[in-house]
Amino acid sequence: MPPLNGTKTHPLKPASIAVLRRLALGPIRAEQINPGVRDRLSREGLAVERPRGALSLPGARAMQWEITDAGRAALAQIDRS
């Protein structure tokens, strides 16, 4: 999906990098992440949203975010630079 601001994707901001670092430690509940950061990480395939499983209440939308292999690779790239 192309970025909304044209064809250029800007580097990740410190808030997005901080969330990626936290996701590398384990899943985070969706409501704990800024919606703009969630959108950016999702668009670039760095993190995905999954159901929380047994912690979900019947009929409730309980989701968590997990880092992807692309997200781990992006963190490694950031750490090298």
pLDDT at 57: 59
Nearest to 61 by CA among 30, 38, 34: 30
Q: How confident is the model at residue 76 (pLDDT cuts 50, 70, 90)?
A: very high
Res 9 pLDDT > 80: no
The contacts of residue 15 (CB under 8 Å, 6+ apart) are 34, 37
Q: Give residue-wise pLDDT tens across range 23-72.
A: 999 999 888 999 999 999 999 999 999 887 655 556 566 789 999 999 99
